[in-house]
Amino acid sequence: MATAEGVQAVKVLIAGGAGFIGSTVASACLDAGMSPVILDSLVTGRREFTAGRSFYEGDIADGPLIDRIFAEHPDIGAVIHCAALIVVPDSVADPVGYYRANVAKSLEFAAHLLRNGGARLIFSSSAAIYRPGADLSVDEDSPVDPASPYARTKAVCEAMFADIAAAEPIRVLSLRYFNPIGADPKMRTGLQLRRPTHALGKLIQASQDGVPFVITGTDWPTRDGTGLRDYIHVWDLAAAHVAALTRFDTLPGPVTVINLGTGTGTTVRELAAAFNQVADRPVQVREAGRRPGDIAGACTRTGRAQRLLGWRPQYDLTEGIRHSLQWAALRDEVLSGEPARRLSPPER
Ligand SMILES: NC(=O)c1ccc[n+]([C@@H]2O[C@H](COP(=O)([O-])OP(=O)(O)OC[C@H]3O[C@@H](n4cnc5c(N)ncnc54)[C@H](O)[C@@H]3O)[C@@H](O)[C@H]2O)c1
């Protein structure tokens, strides 16, 4: 595959490219001289994030549409599949809907890609599929034991794509994301939701509303008893996709799995302290018990991403918080109203 510096511009189809991560990946591709083609149903994505970009509104399971995209862009060299529903509690309430949206449609999508000669697939997977060990760190060989229907859809898709790659002329890279924060540093895109429900979203909300931030759960097996996450700046995630596109043909197998995290776990207490260093309006912290479905969390033991992609995160936690705050202040200028569906669950 031609590299970013190569003679031929890399054209990449990004399914889910109007969402938080996919739109950031599209921006990173553009900045690297690649040409993204966006396919998105806008079920949670935003049309504003596709402005000025090649955009097809529709479903990944829509065969005639995928055929049309490939007919109009025969030079698509790779596909990034970010399209999914991602709200853990919704997946518990509606497993049929989630398996249909994330698994059945991904299977259809794979068949449509094969028919059109799609040979390189990068799949957005999740660290939520792991069962972490006692020290809460995981690597790509750690046990897979998803704790929610949402996470299970990701694990099932990985297994399904691996079986397909073993039999068909397609190679698959699954990127297992940890906990994305921040926004495009150029503020083209960020989280769609006005009031995200993950810990950083709640810190921002508490700061805006002048109310205390409530830590839910202080008896986890972590250094200070609060949940631990591996917060990765979304621009670093996006940069990893650019690196993966550039190096795709050097990856070892028909199937490769790579964790994308910083390698540093941050507890909720540490996140709140870091937030108060950055925010104009610091928050007071209160403590409460665990909520149903909460987990201790995990961080990655990095190594493979650096070895195979030559990638390592460039942004630290403080910059992620700063960019999230900046986006929260700008969001209503870029986006009007709420997306149709709830986004940004506590755990993904
Ligand atoms: N955000 C996270 O914390 C996180 C963590 C790990 C993995 N992931 C994975 O990353 C990917 C992107 O997540 P995100 O945070 O950007 O979510 P998002 O909801 O912002 O983006 C998903 C996009 O996919 C689109 N979409 C959904 N179903 C579709 C379909 N059938 N056809 C066409 N488009 C469809 C939505 O409209 C949306 O634009 C997902 O696959 C998710 O599972 C996200």
User: Of these residues, 56, 98, 130, 150, which one is catalytic?
Assistant: 150
Greater model confidence, 259 or 134: 259
Identify the H or E element spanning 171: strand 171-177
| pLDDT for the residue numbered 1 | 57
d(CA 92, CA 100): 14
Question: Which atom of ligand 1 is least distant from the CA of 21?
Answer: 16
Strand partners, 304: none
Q: Once rounded to an integer, what is the mean pLDDT over residues 298-323?
A: 96
Q: Once rounded to an integer, what is the mean pLDDT over residues 114-120?
A: 97
> Ligand 1 centroid vs 245 CA: distance in angstroms?
19
| Average pLDDT for the chain | 93
d(CA 248, CA 239): 14
| pLDDT for the residue numbered 194 | 85
Chain-centre distance of CA 214, in angstroms? 25
Q: Once rounded to an integer, what is the mean pLDDT over residues 62-67?
A: 98
Greater model confidence, 295 or 341: 295
| pLDDT for the residue numbered 343 | 43
Ligand 1 pocket residues where CB is under 6 Å: 15-16, 18-22, 40-45, 59-60, 82-84, 86, 101, 105, 124, 126, 177, 179-180, 192, 343, 348
pLDDT at position 348 over 70 = no
d(CA 38, CA 190): 17
Q: Once rounded to an integer, what is the mean pLDDT over residues 318-337?
A: 93
| pLDDT for the residue numbered 302 | 78
Please confirm, yes or no, whether 56 is among the known catalytic residues.
Answer: no
Ligand 1 mutation pick, 86, 200, 232, 327, max ligand atoms within 8 A of CB: 86
d(CA 262, CA 150): 23
Tell me, what amino acid is at 249? D
> Ligand 1 centroid vs 284 CA: distance in angstroms?
32
Greater model confidence, 133 or 226: 226
pLDDT at position 9 over 50 = yes
Find out whether 181 and 320 touch, Cβ atoms under 8 Å.
Answer: yes
Question: Which atom of ligand 1 is least distant from the CA of 177?
Answer: 6
Q: What percent of the chain clears pLDDT 70, i.e. is strictly above it?
A: 94
Tell me the pLDDT band of 4, cut-offs 50, 70 and 90.
Answer: very low
| pLDDT for the residue numbered 120 | 98
